[in-house]
Structure 1
Amino acid sequence: MRVPNVAGGGLPGLQALGITPAALEAIGPSYLSPGRGPARLDGFRALARRH
């Protein structure tokens, strides 16, 4: 890499953006649960009449 891709600490952190850090173990299951992924877009496709 020519440019480092890790923040050096001189910029505002997640809290400045209103983001609370959380462990992957705490939030991961909600991303992997049924109803996520391509199937969750079916409702939007139906509303747009694009099945």
Structure 2
Amino acid sequence: MIHGMLHGWGWLGGLHRRWDWTNGCIAVTNAEMQEIWVKVPDGTPIKIKGTS
């Protein structure tokens, strides 16, 4: 799942990237999540590619 920050935790912004708290999800800032909702239709396949 791709998700933003929990309600009330948005003030963390990009700080949430400093540790892995997602249990396998892709976490983005709430602003980034809003941009994804606007630009990407529901049901769009997502391919995750490793960096190594």
* Larger Rg computed on CA atoms: 1
| TM-score normalised according to structure 2 size | 0.26
TM-score (norm 1): 0.26
Q: With a CA cutoff of 8 Å and minimum separation of 6, indicate the structure with the bigger relative contact order.
A: 2
**Bigger share in helix:** 1
Q: Which has the higher strand share?
A: 2
